[in-house]
């Protein structure tokens, strides 16, 4: 029996929510370990659609949900989300939701700075959600973050707010944005403290007890490897590490607890926001993928850029992310296409390369080298076994496995949780 860690292998939006929800039926505890409310997971359960940003997807299955210390928490956004899903019938209490007491908070000043900086970048904007995630992580590493545990110590909170505002108001004033008073932030925190503190606990200790008791833990990543602050398309990345190794440090467990690493990948590629995207399609095929796949950001509502499957990027994600197997999603979106292309390499300044470069200029100049395969006319939508798949669809999946050097262990053929083909149960690895 093994724990499982789920990470995205592209630029996010790969369908992690459905896969985590599906795997949660085999887990006891589901843990979020990085990111903030810039992540978005959509879960379809019968006629109910749950849109989650901070809450672990396992809550939909009635499992214990955990928000680890690696997550930056916007308390207002969290409470709004709790109220919304409670209205849909979910039970969210301090018994079902544990939040690390050492998790940093996102305050209104963080969002203001995030938006002011993005506006100042002009044509060099990164495409952030403007929700304050980056500035909150900056405060964490600069040792001026307000953490949940600080809410229980008014004297500590008082001097920490002074230090935080000295930094942020200086930047806001320099950017021509409105500054904040200490009273404004105190009022904000006074309002949310009574609701937030009951959920806080020593998550690392409870997870260690769960491990010793043999309980199955599912670690749920946000964003994806190509948005990792070290390994992604920097600077067009998120503000945290997204690889599986962070499941340990972001929740307070040992590295050996990470278990089977399941990487999620769409059968094509999408991206929201700015940054390089070698296989992006600007033609009718790209629009078709977007329409069929309902490609709009769960959090932002922005249309996603669409393109062919990039095996080079996924192979990199497999290696740096420690991926044990791939869950391939949205295969049904490719139904009916005459031809399907896979990026198998790049051309850069007249030279063939087999890995994605790190320098932003080089990333923008690479041109994809494609291998083209026949499509299939039959439908894959709703398939729940290999026998239901068209022969050409199976060939496409097998070719992907060869190129990315990792097995496809799960195959998703629709948004419905049970329309899934399981080749290997990660929990039994």
User: What DSSP state is assigned to residue 335?
Assistant: T
In a domain, residue 100? The reply is no
Instruction: Note the pLDDT of residue 22.
Output: 82
Catalytic residue among 13, 21, 139, 228: 13
Based on the fold, state whether residues 312 and 177 are members of the same structural domain. Answer: no
CATH number of the domain enclosing 415: 3.90.170.10
Return d(Cα 4, Cα 69) in angstroms, integer: 19
Instruction: Note the pLDDT of residue 123.
Output: 79
Residues sharing a CB contact under 8 Å with residue 139, sequence separation 6 or more, in sequence order? 104, 110, 145, 146, 164, 167
Look at the chain and report how many structural domains it folds into: 2
Instruction: Note the pLDDT of residue 298.
Output: 61
In a domain, residue 138? The reply is yes
- Which of 170, 196, 222 delimits the end of a domain? 196
In a domain, residue 328? The reply is yes
Q: Split the chain (429 residues) into runs of 10 and give each run's mean pLDDT.
A: 90 84 88 87 76 87 94 96 92 96 97 91 80 94 96 93 96 94 95 96 97 94 93 92 96 94 97 92 94 78 90 96 95 96 96 93 95 95 92 97 96 86 86
Instruction: Note the pLDDT of residue 122.
Output: 83
Burial 275-312 (b: 16+ CB within 10 A, else e): bbbbbbbeeebbebbbebbebebbbbeeebbbbbbbbb
- Which of 180, 196, 212 delimits the end of a domain? 196
Instruction: Note the pLDDT of residue 362.
Output: 95
Instruction: Note the pLDDT of residue 1.
Output: 54
Based on the fold, state whether residues 276 and 423 are members of the same structural domain. Answer: yes
Return d(Cα 280, Cα 313) in angstroms, integer: 13
Enter the pTM of the model: 0.92
Catalytic residue among 21, 28, 37, 41: 41
Residues sharing a CB contact under 8 Å with residue 136, sequence separation 6 or more, in sequence order? 36, 72, 104, 105, 106, 107, 110, 145, 239
In a domain, residue 253? The reply is no
Based on the fold, state whether residues 314 and 416 are members of the same structural domain. Answer: yes
Instruction: Note the pLDDT of residue 58.
Output: 85
Based on the fold, state whether residues 274 and 177 are members of the same structural domain. Answer: no
CATH number of the domain enclosing 128: 1.10.300.10
In a domain, residue 41? The reply is no
Q: Tell me which residue range forms the domain holding 301.
A: 266-428
In a domain, residue 410? The reply is yes
In a domain, residue 13? The reply is no
Per the annotation, the verdict on 13 as an active-site residue is yes
Instruction: Note the pLDDT of residue 25.
Output: 83
Based on the fold, state whether residues 155 and 271 are members of the same structural domain. Answer: no
- Which of 196, 216, 245 delimits the end of a domain? 196
Based on the fold, state whether residues 297 and 414 are members of the same structural domain. Answer: yes
In a domain, residue 128? The reply is yes
Based on the fold, state whether residues 179 and 285 are members of the same structural domain. Answer: no
């Amino acid at each position: 029996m093994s724990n499982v860690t789920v990470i995205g292998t592209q630029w996010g939006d790969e369908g992690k929510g459905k896969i985590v929800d599906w795997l949660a039926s085999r887990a006891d505890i589901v843990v979020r370990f990085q990111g903030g409310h810039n992540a978005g997971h959509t879960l379809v359960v019968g006629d109910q659609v749950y849109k989650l940003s901070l809450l672990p997807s396992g809550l939909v299955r009635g499992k214990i949900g955990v928000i680890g210390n690696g997550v930056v928490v916007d308390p207002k956004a969290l409470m709004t989300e709790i109220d919304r899903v409670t209205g849909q019938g979910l039970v969210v209490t301090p018994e079902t939701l544990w939040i690390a007491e050492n998790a940093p908070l996102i305050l209104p000043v963080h969002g203001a700075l995030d938006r002011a900086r993005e506006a100042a970048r002009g044509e060099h904007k990164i495409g952030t959600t403007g929700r304050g995630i980056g500035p909150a992580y900056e405060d964490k590493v600069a040792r001026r973050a307000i953490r949940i545990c600080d809410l229980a110590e008014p004297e500590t909170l008082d001097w920490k707010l002074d230090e935080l505002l000295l930094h942020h108001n200086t930047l806001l004033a320099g950017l021509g944005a409105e500054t904040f008073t200490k009273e404004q932030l105190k009022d904000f925190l006074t309002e949310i403290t009574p609701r937030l503190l009951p959920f806080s606990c020593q998550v690392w200790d409870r997870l260690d007890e769960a491990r010793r008791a043999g309980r199955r833990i599912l670690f749920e990543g946000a964003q994806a490897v190509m948005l990792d602050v070290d390994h992604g398309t920097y600077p067009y990345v998120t503000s945290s590490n997204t690889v599986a190794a962070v499941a340990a440090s972001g929740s307070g467990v040992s590295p050996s607890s990470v278990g089977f690493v399941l990487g999620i990948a769409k059968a094509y590629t999408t991206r929201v926001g700015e940054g390089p995207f070698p296989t992006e399609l600007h033609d009718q095929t790209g629009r078709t993928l977007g329409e069929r796949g309902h490609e709009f950001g769960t959090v932002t509502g922005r249309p996603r850029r669409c393109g062919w499957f990039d095996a080079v990027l996924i192979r990199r994600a497999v290696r740096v992310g420690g991926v044990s197997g791939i869950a391939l999603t949205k295969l049904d979106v490719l139904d009916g296409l005459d031809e399907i292309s896979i990026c198998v390499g790049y051309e850069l300044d007249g030279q063939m390369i087999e890995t994605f470069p790190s320098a932003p200029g080089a990333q923008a100049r690479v041109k994809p080298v494609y291998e083209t395969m026949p499509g299939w006319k039959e439908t894959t939508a709703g398939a729940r076994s290999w026998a239901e798949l068209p022969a050409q669809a199976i060939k496409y999946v097998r070719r992907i496995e060869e190129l990315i050097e990792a097995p496809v262990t799960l195959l998703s053929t629709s948004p419905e949780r049970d329309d899934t083909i399981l080749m290997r149960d990660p929990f039994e690895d």
